[in-house]
Amino acid sequence: MPERRTVALVTLGCARNEVDSEELAGRLAADGWELVEDAADADVAVVNTCGFVEAAKKDSVDALLEANDLKDHGKTQAVVAVGCMAERYGKELAEALPEADGVLGFDDYADISSRLQTILSGGNIEAHAPRDRRQLLPISPAERQNASVALPGHAQDGAEEPAEAPADLPEGIAPASGPRAPLRRRLDNSPVASVKLASGCDRRCSFCAIPSFRGSFISRRPSDVLGETRWLAEQGVKEIMLVSENNTSYGKDLGDIRLLETLLPELAAVEGIERVRVSYLQPAEMRPGLIDVLTSTPGVVPYFDLSFQHSAPGVLRAMRRFGDTDRFLELLDTIRAKAPQAGVRSNFIVGFPGETEEDFAELERFLTHARLDAIGVFGYSDEDGTEAATYENKLDEETVAERLAHMQRLAEELTSQRAEERIGETLEVLVETVVPFDEAEEGEGAYGRAAHQAPETDGQVVFTDGTGLVPGTIVTAKVVGTLGVDLVAEPLGTEFSEIQEAAG
């Protein structure tokens, strides 16, 4: 009987990392590892790190140190770093953090089982050597599909051939139907799951280091995206969220920049899938046809996660981006003319090098008129290897902090106002969490999300009455109040009455 090996995956960062963790989970489970939720119960704790900004890097280091402490108090024997921070810094991270027993890059994912086994057995795996992953794929997007490069979420194998997955996969693992269809195992039972649409990015925003460690843009084939969505539906998933560094570029390396417009209706038609949500959209790449599909296709929610970053023309040019306040407002008007209840969220950077008081006021003008449902604001800081890090005219830390605090207060006020505008609206709400009667203050508490709310990043819906509601069901509800950015809604319709009657 083979020795029992346990592993826990600790995931930090974005939804793309969550998908990568489920790919690692699928590979490990297929090779006989037992997955456990608590790192203290695992032989090996694998921390899927984030390397986006300083705060995320600190969280990743803290998670690695916390896992390392378990070696003295739990059964944990080894701690291994994977993910973006491990890929970005590799040997540098290993030297700075000797508590990590291994620092593995994306090239190690295809053979993750043997890597962990070596580490668990006391062997040494040389720390990942970082390289600019943009140089691994051909410059021409059309030539990238057949490149032999490790791409998390695509399961393209690198130089080393991984062991073949067993023909009789354990229950709950998505079968790899081709070289680009990864094994996958769900790490929770949420009715929502992310599906990776593409990897990498060809844009060269001066503040962003992501392309250097995630690589150039490459799409997944529609058949693989559809196959994974069908498998997720079989696992009980009701909503899928398409993720990548830039979903608006999907298909450009497959010969059809409008491929997303074709794929979305097919995904929405998958049996069991109630909602399809698209994230990470570039305003400069929004097409009339894509807006039409996002606002008129049954099952595809009118949700626009638009990466504005700023609205002052001078700042945007320094960021190597495009647009201005008026053009962005025109885009929002176009969207809302087609779908008045459409949800829109975005992130913004304040204190960018050279940002004047007039630029800051222009951004405030945009936010005041944009009526966004969710707003993320970040203060600028230099990122290793980015063009902006070499810019002059840097603002002092105190000025950046003041502008950040001001804009965060404004964002909180504006999103609360936007939530209040929705009072009286009737929404279709996906129930996600139900708090049992004995744990709630009054009756059962239930929480969900409407079409304009993405998981984790946006607000939620708090039901006035959660009696009999079940996670994974969609309930019609009327907004009767707000709690900041969150909506308070009363369930409506015959289906809710039937639920209550069944619950007694």
Report the binding-site residues: 14, 50, 84, 201, 205, 208
How many angstroms separate the CA atoms of 348 and 330, rounded? Answer: 18
Which residues face 195 on adjacent strands?
242
Annotated binding site for [4Fe-4S] cluster: 14, 50, 84, 201, 205, 208
CB-CB neighbours of 265 under 10 Å: 14
Q: What are phi and psi of 430, to 5 degrees?
A: -85, 115
Cβ–Cβ under 8 Å, residues 344 and 306: yes
Say if residues 75 and 40 touch (Cβ distance below 8 Å).
yes
Kindly list the distances between the CA atom of residue 299 and the CA atoms of 203, 284, 290, 339, 347, in Å, as whole numbers in the listed order. Answer: 30, 25, 15, 14, 26
CA distances from 207 to 132, 210, 245, 328 (A): 16, 9, 14, 20
In whole angstroms, how large is the CA radius of gyration of the chain?
Answer: 23
| Cα 30 to the center of its chain, rounded Å | 25
Name which of 211, 302, 290 is nearest 247 in CA terms.
290
- Picking from 4, 2, 95, 86, the residue whose alpha carbon sits closest to that of residue 46 is 86
Angstrom CA distances, 418 to 81, 335, 475, stand at 40, 16, 22
Q: 276 has which bridge partners?
A: 240, 300
β-pairing, 474-483 vs 218-219, is: unpaired
Burial class of residue 1 (count of CB atoms within 10 Å of its CB; 0-12, 13-18, 19+): exposed
Residue whose C-alpha is closest to residue 479's, from 437, 433, 428, 443: 428
Residue 308 CA: distances (Å) to CA of 43, 126, 143, 411:
43, 40, 30, 14
The dihedral sign for the CA sequence 108, 114, 118, 119? positive
